[in-house]
Amino acid sequence: MLAGCTSLGGIGPSAGKVLKSGDQAVLSSQVKVVDVDSATVTRQVEANRPALFSDRLGNVAPTSTVVGRGDVLEITVVEAPPAVLYSSGATETALRNPLGATNIQGVTSARGWSSPQQVVDLDGKIFVPFAGSIPAAGRTPRDIERDIVARLAGKAHDPQVMVRRIANAAANVTVLGDVGQNGRYPLSAHGERLLEIIAAAGGPKQALSKSVVQIERNQQTYVLPLSLVSRDPAQNVTLLPNDVVTVLFQPYSFTSLGASGSNSEIMFEGPGFTLAQALGRMGGLQDTRSNVKGVFIFRLENPSALDPATVAGTPLTADGKIPIVYRINLSDPKTLFNAQQFPIKNRDVVYISNAPLVDFNKFLGIISSTIFSVVGVVNSVP
């Protein structure tokens, strides 16, 4: 009978066994037990603070007015009368007064020349007769106009130049991922922002709370929850040519185990979700079973989020993490304030151990039922 009582049903390790797991080998590393106090919470908040788009990418000025390789330009040169360079075979351009009447008395029509549409070549240049090869890539249309005027000085009489971009081949962003339509989208002088481009691509297919947005710029990648971008206008940054925007479906969840109101995988809305919210979503602690000093969070943690003394001499897992068990003592009122700041991360395991008396009561119940069963059998024998 006693041999059968050595193994009682349970929900997981006791608080004592969890605490004794410190320094045990797991995934080529060592388990560390860390108490959740004010210092721990401060380190966690700093380490889990997202890298904001506004800090990393800045609110840059629109650059889509800059001409790039592959753009198609239309160039018009108008020469004031008396025309010298374009006096024959040129397009006659009538000057207009503010009311729109043409052929103003005493004013001779100006003559001009319009080029066929030109594609900016691989060297970033275009060709204008009598002006030669003109650098175009990386310059605005106004810069190109001034350059052509300077080159025609002394050849044409008071030349006026207009450069217009017909087709935009260089100032584009690429949108990929979980949106309505993947593709390349042009930028204009308006200076399109992140949410405008995502909307142009058909918007995210999933809820904002379950999506993250990634911006790749200059071989660097930056990621934020899409819900944060929608809430904070500063994160809705202006995009630049060649940016790659990727919207990803990223549901966040943690696992609730032990003496709680719910043993299950629980979804949450992403960064900013706290331990206090997690305990509430779990249904709290079961007051007849749970150990208020035995609430634990199991996590493969980044070393940057830990006290250097904890990290020192501890081998890392293959992906550079340390197995950490965070211990929360809910019998201390100060812990409830810490719980409102301590962040829960994706794939955390929140475990609530049984109170020591629960296992004793189980044992007592088994012994009592066995003894009383034997007594009942004995009493039934005549």
Q: Which residue has the tokens 């949106």?
A: 179
CA distances from 213 to 173, 216, 230, 246, 248 (A): 14, 10, 11, 6, 6
Mean pLDDT, the chain, integer:
82
**Is residue 191 predicted with pLDDT exceeding 80?**
yes
Q: Which fold has domain 53-59+171-248?
A: Outer membrane lipoprotein wza fold like (3.10.560)
Task: Cite the residue boundaries of each domain of the chain with CATH code 3.10.560.10.
Answer: 3-48+272-361, 53-59+171-248
Q: Pull the structure tokens for residue 162.
A: 């207009």
Using one digit for the tens of pLDDT, what is the confidence trace for 10-23? Answer: 556 666 666 556 55
What confidence category does residue 66 fall into, taking pLDDT thresholds of 50, 70 and 90? Answer: confident
CATH code assigned to 3-48+272-361: 3.10.560.10
Rounded-to-integer distance, Cα 22 and Cα 36, Å: 15
**Is residue 218 predicted with pLDDT exceeding 70?**
yes
Share of the chain above pLDDT 70, in %: 78
Burial of 259 (0-12, 13-18, 19+ CB in 10 A): buried
CATH code assigned to 72-167: 3.30.1950.10
| Average pLDDT of the segment spanning 181-208 | 93
What confidence category does residue 359 fall into, taking pLDDT thresholds of 50, 70 and 90? Answer: low
Task: Cite the residue boundaries of each domain of the chain with CATH code 3.30.1950.10.
Answer: 72-167
Q: Identify the sign of the CA torsion 257, 261, 267, 270.
A: negative
